Amino acid sequence: MQPAVFRMRIRPGMEEVYRARHQAVWPEVEAALRRAGFSRYSIFAAGTELVAYFEAVDPASTLERLAEDPAMQRWWAWMAPVMADEPPDAHDYVRVYQLDGPGEE
């Protein structure tokens, strides 16, 4: 699996709406993520800033498949009023450090 990271932004004042909607993600959205090829997917929030991390065999083609999925298109339309108008920042981030497994003390 290859890791991928991207950033997004929530509209100011919509942080709680964003969190509430993600506490009840539609089952068809989770199915769409799996169909597209997501292995792991996490979103981290700090105020209006979001950082998303996912793993997939081929992250670029995974995102392309996801964009074509009707369930994701409906979710994104529903989330559009919550999200800032800027597109996601999907640079090719390069991992510079990773700690694996439990450490010994």
User: Residue 14 maps to which CATH number?
Assistant: 3.30.70.100
**What confidence category does residue 78 fall into, taking pLDDT thresholds of 50, 70 and 90?**
very high
Asked whether residue 67 is domain-assigned, the answer is: yes
What pTM did the predictor assign? 0.85
Arithmetic mean of pLDDT, 56-68: 94
Question: For residue 95, what pLDDT is reported?
Answer: 81
Residue 91 bears catalytic tag: no
Number of domains in the chain: 1
Q: Under a CB-based contact definition with an 8 Å cutoff, are residues 21 and 82 in contact?
A: yes
- Nearest residue to 25 via CA among 46, 6, 42: 42
Given the residues 7, 11, 21, 22, the one annotated as active site: 22
Q: Is residue 31 part of a domain?
A: yes
- pLDDT of the residue at 96: 87
pLDDT at 105 over 70: no
